[in-house]
Structure 1
Amino acid sequence: MTVRLVAALVAVLAVSGCSAEPDPNAVAAAKCHLPLSQHLGLTAEQRLSTGQVAVRDLGEGRREVSGPFSVTPGGRVGGFVCVVAPDAGDKLRGLRVESLRVE
Structure 2
Amino acid sequence: MSVGEPPHAAIADAADVVAEKIDILLERATDAVLGAPPAGSQQWRQLWDSRDSETGRVAAAQRARVKAAIADLAGVRNDGGPQPQAQPRRRATRASRPASQQLAIW
Whichever of the two has the greater Rg, that structure is 2
TM-score past 0.5 threshold: no
TM score, norm. by length of structure 1:
0.27
Determine which structure has the larger strand proportion and give its number.
1
